[in-house]
């Protein structure tokens, strides 16, 4: 190597212990603090794991950049000396994550690449369809070098963006096929399909989330009614598997909480007795109120689709004094 290359590399290597210390802090903070809610809710598909920039890559970037964009102080200006990446399933989570990273008081942060702005300027640069945020420490905190030089680039992207980047960036953008127009066109087509797929995924996720909210609210309403009968019932004892079995009937009938309340009022004495003196497991669960509604309002079709053992259905007939004939 030349004398200037030796000098640039020596400066970079001197920074290495502090960079590794900072990279470890960034990874741990992302997983356990900044993005904890997304991690806990299984939104993160690939957790952060920092990497130090390769020495040859650093020298090349520092000294052999395009002539119209020379670095004056590469140690400060090159911001991806260490990099970490967090991969999500949906693009909506990428946006949430970028807001959380930018708003965190654990570091000084700035966005350096934003995919929607880049794709507007140059539609062929799909390989950078992720959000890049650069962070450095707020305080010296035992670091031996200038904290402004301790920059870590956090890449936030979806699984689809990650797959595309693995193919296009490593194989094409940095390789001998960078100028091949046919490859560029095919890559552009593939990214367009991926973007459309991501739109569909986000739409499906929103529909599922909306349906989940409805089911959750319906469950809470049932529990509230049930607790007026059995105040000692604990939410954590809810049998979700049993509840789900009977919630499948919600797709077959238009059932409201008000209608269940009405059935309860009409049959209050027998329902209260069944719950307070249960002869089997079913009345010990709030979903029993839904079962009672179905039994009275849709008996014929409900009984034909009865999903549990016949003995429990027999108990229903006996409890409410209804003949099977």
Report whether pLDDT(118) > 60: no
Residue 117 has a pLDDT of 58
Residue 116 has a pLDDT of 58
Residue 195 has a pLDDT of 81
pLDDT single digits (tens) 3-58: 888 999 999 999 999 999 999 999 999 999 999 999 988 889 999 999 999 999 99
d(CA 84, CA 152): 7
Residue 128 has a pLDDT of 42
Residue 50 has a pLDDT of 97
Yes or no: domain 3-178 corresponds to CATH 3.30.460.10: yes
pLDDT single digits (tens) 126-153: 444 689 999 999 999 999 999 999 999 9
Mean pLDDT of the chain: 88
pLDDT single digits (tens) 169-188: 655 555 555 667 787 788 77
Q: Helix 257-266 and helix 288-297: axis angle, to 10°?
A: 80
Domain range annotation of the chain: 3-178, 214-319
Report whether pLDDT(218) > 90: yes
Burial class (CB in 10 A: 0-12, 13-18, 19+), 108: middle
Residue 120 has a pLDDT of 59
Distance set, CA 58 to CA 55, 62, 81, 169, 173 (Å): 5, 6, 8, 17, 17
Residue 170 has a pLDDT of 58
pLDDT single digits (tens) 63-105: 886 656 778 899 999 999 999 999 998 888 999 999 999 999 9
DSSP characters over 193-240: HHHHHHHHHHHHHHHHHHHHHHHHHHHHHHHHHHHHH-TT--GGG--H
Residue 175 has a pLDDT of 57
d(CA 26, CA 29): 5
Reported confidence tier of residue 323, pLDDT bands at 50, 70, 90: confident
d(CA 51, CA 196): 31
């Amino acid at each position: 190597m030349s004398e200037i290359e030796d000098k640039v590399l020596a400066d970079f290597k001197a920074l290495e212990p502090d960079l590794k210390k900072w990279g470890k802090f960034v990874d741990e903070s992302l997983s356990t603090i900044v993005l904890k809610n997304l991690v806990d809710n299984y939104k993160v598909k690939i957790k952060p794991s920092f990497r130090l920039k390769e020495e040859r890559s650093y020298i090349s970037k520092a000294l052999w950049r395009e002539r119209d964009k020379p670095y004056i102080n590469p140690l400060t200006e090159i911001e991806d000396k260490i990099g970490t990446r967090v991969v999500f399933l949906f693009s909506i989570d990428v946006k949430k994550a970028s807001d959380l990273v930018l708003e965190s008081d654990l570091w000084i942060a700035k966005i350096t690449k934003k995919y929607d702005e880049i794709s507007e300027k140059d539609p062929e640069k799909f390989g950078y369809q992720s959000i890049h945020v650069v962070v450095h420490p707020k305080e010296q905190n035992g670091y031996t070098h200038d904290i402004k030089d301790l920059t870590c680039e956090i890449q936030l992207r979806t699984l689809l963006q990650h797959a595309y980047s693995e193919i296009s960036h490593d194989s094409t953008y940095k390789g001998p096929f960078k100028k091949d127009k046919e490859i560029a066109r095919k890559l552009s087509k593939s990214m367009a399909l991926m973007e459309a797929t991501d739109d569909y995924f986000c739409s499906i996720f929103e529909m599922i989330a909306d349906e989940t909210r409805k089911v959750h609210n319906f469950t809470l309403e049932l529990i509230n009614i049930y607790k007026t009968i059995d105040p000692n019932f604990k939410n954590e004892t809810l049998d979700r598997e049993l509840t789900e079995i009977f919630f499948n009937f919600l797709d077959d009938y238009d059932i409201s909480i008000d209608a269940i309340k009405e059935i309860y009022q009409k049959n209050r004495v027998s329902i209260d007795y069944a719950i307070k003196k249960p002869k089997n497991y079913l009345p010990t669960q709030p979903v029993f109120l839904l079962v009672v509604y179905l039994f009275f309002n849709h008996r014929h079709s409900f009984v034909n689709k009865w999903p549990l053992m016949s003995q429990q259905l027999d108990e229903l007939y006996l409890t409410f004094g209804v003949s099977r004939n």
